[in-house]
Structure 1
Amino acid sequence: MTWHTRVELLHLEGRIERWIRFGRPVEEEILDRRRRALWFAPDAVFAFVRWAANDYGTAVSRIDILRAVAAGEPLTTVPGVTPGGEVLLRLSGWPKVERVLHAIDQVEALGIDPADACPDHWRHVHSRLSANDEPRAYAHERHRAWTLRREMTA
């Protein structure tokens, strides 16, 4: 049996939303009209957004960019992700989540799928935003270097 990372998504209008911003699942299951599950193969990179509100407004805004791990690899547990994954970026609070979403948009504007971007870029975005600094933009040159490095180690 192949090892996959399972992510449970949920949509309760105006209360709780858990969704994938990017990533390529290998399988999907509809659990009911509000819930579904996605499975990601080892090494797949995806962004998982969690948002919740209460009577007073937004209670939780979080984004995790994770790499799905293979069996036996170290991992970090994340609510809604089984068994967990390698954390490339983990931020909370709407202002930081929004800046991550803009960083994802910037990668897409280059014509690059964010799931294919260098994992170090997401670590860089995490570090810079954690320090309330501006991350460097992803560039075609950085992506080409990552692609060549990945080909050499494959």
Structure 2
Amino acid sequence: MTSLTHVELVWMAKRVESWIRFGRIVEEHPVDRSCRIVSFEPNSVFAVVRWVANDYGTVASRIMILRAVSPRERYATLPTIHPGADILLHLSGWPKVEKALRVIDPIEAQGIDPVEVAPEHWRHVHNRLSVNEQVRPYTRDQHKAWLHRRRVQP
């Protein structure tokens, strides 16, 4: 049994589109012209964006920021994510997805890789955007504190 978390990405132009917004892919396997499987190591954080449309327009849009789990660790089961993952953020509907994507940009503008952001910040973003509240920005000081805490805690 592999310890990697596998994500199935489908791309059917103007119908179904899923992509990785950020994350460190360690393996990638094409399935066919419209599908590929990407894999992540345990404990790595990644973002998956999904968009579905029909002849009348957008049917669904979703963003998930997830943490790949280790074997024997608890996880949530999610479609196209195998075996599953720890959900840090899960938002549906284009207005909320767009806001979540706009939260990522200033983090990257500070030179911080979103995969290194404190998990509690992604949970904060989820909670605030879920109820249409303003998100507190992620600061360099907050990031330094998280990196220090991660170093000293096993």
Separation in structure 2 between the aligned mates of residue 40 and residue 133 of structure 1, nearest angstrom: 31
Measure how far apart 1:7 and its partner are: 0.2
Partner of 2:51: 51
**1:2-21 to 2 correspondences below 5 Å:** 2-21=2-21
Q: How many residues align?
A: 154
Separation in structure 1 between the aligned mates of residue 78 and residue 59 of structure 2, nearest angstrom: 18
Instruction: Report Cα offsets for 1:46-80 as digits up to 9, x if no partner.
Output: 00111100111000100110000011111111111
Partner of 1:152: 152
Partner of 1:112: 112
**1:84-123 to 2 correspondences below 5 Å:** 84-123=84-123
SS at match of 2:32: coil
Structure 1 runs (4+) greater than 2 angstroms displaced: none
Q: Which runs of 5+ in 1 are unaligned?
A: none
**1:33-48 to 2 correspondences below 5 Å:** 33-48=33-48
Q: Which runs of 5+ in 2 are unaligned?
A: none
Q: What is the CA RMSD across the aligned residues, in angstroms? A: 0.9
Partner of 1:77: 77
Separation in structure 2 between the aligned mates of residue 133 and residue 99 of structure 1, nearest angstrom: 11
* TM-score normalised to structure 1 length: 0.97
Partner of 1:125: 125
Same amino acid, percent of matched pairs? 55
Separation in structure 2 between the aligned mates of residue 7 and residue 111 of structure 1, nearest angstrom: 26
